């Protein structure tokens, strides 16, 4: 039953990928709780987080420098990581899949609405990466 669920999720994500650049899921909790959950879900799979980009902080810090006073996010972090096994698999299928590495999961807080998501990946071998990211996010949100 679990495999059927993930196959269904994968097919929905694949059809949504053509219509959008990112796949997002609402998180019922605070931004800090969401970032902790994402970090725990990534590490829990034996993966190493290479870098956490504090994109929201950067955008807020530099807004005036670029002539803006608009707050885009109350919080926005991107967790960057790779899976050696999966990266090798998708790059053996097509070495140019290197363009999609490292993989990222983002957490945002916009107007009190916290979301977790990832970019949409192209059809083919990269759907395996999209499935991994979906599974990590499902772990983080508690599904």
**Predicted confidence pLDDT, tens digits, the chain (143 residues):** 444 444 444 444 444 444 469 999 999 999 999 999 999 999 999 999 999 999 999 999 999 999 999 999 999 999 999 999 999 999 999 999 999 999 999 999 999 999 999 999 999 999 999 999 999 999 999 97
**Residue 69: is the preceding peptide bond cis (ω within 30°)?**
no
* Spatial CB neighbours of 50, under 8 Å, sequence gap ≥ 6: 80, 81, 82, 102
Closest CA to 108 of 45, 54, 69: 54
Task: For domain 2-141, give the CATH number.
Answer: 3.30.310.70
Q: How far is CA 95 from the centre of its chain?
A: 22
pTM score over 0.85: no
Residue ranges covered by each domain of the chain = 2-141
Nearest C-alpha neighbor of 46 from the set 142, 138, 132, 134: 132
């Amino acid at each position: 039953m679990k495999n059927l669920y993930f196959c269904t999720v994968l097919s929905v994500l694949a059809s949504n990928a053509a219509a959008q650049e990112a796949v997002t899921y609402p998180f019922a909790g605070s931004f800090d709780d969401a970032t902790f959950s994402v970090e725990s879900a990534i590490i829990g799979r034996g993966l190493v987080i290479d870098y956490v980009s504090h994109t929201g902080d950067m955008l807020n810090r530099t807004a005036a420098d670029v002539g803006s006073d608009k707050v885009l996010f109350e919080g926005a972090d991107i967790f960057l990581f790779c899976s050696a096994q999966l990266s090798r698999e998708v790059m053996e299928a097509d070495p140019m899949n290197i363009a999609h590495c490292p993989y990222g999961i983002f957490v945002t807080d916009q107007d009190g609405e916290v979301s977790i998501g990832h970019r949409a990946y192209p059809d083919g071998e990269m759907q395996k990466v999209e499935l991994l990211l979906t599974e990590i996010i499902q772990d983080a949100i508690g599904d």
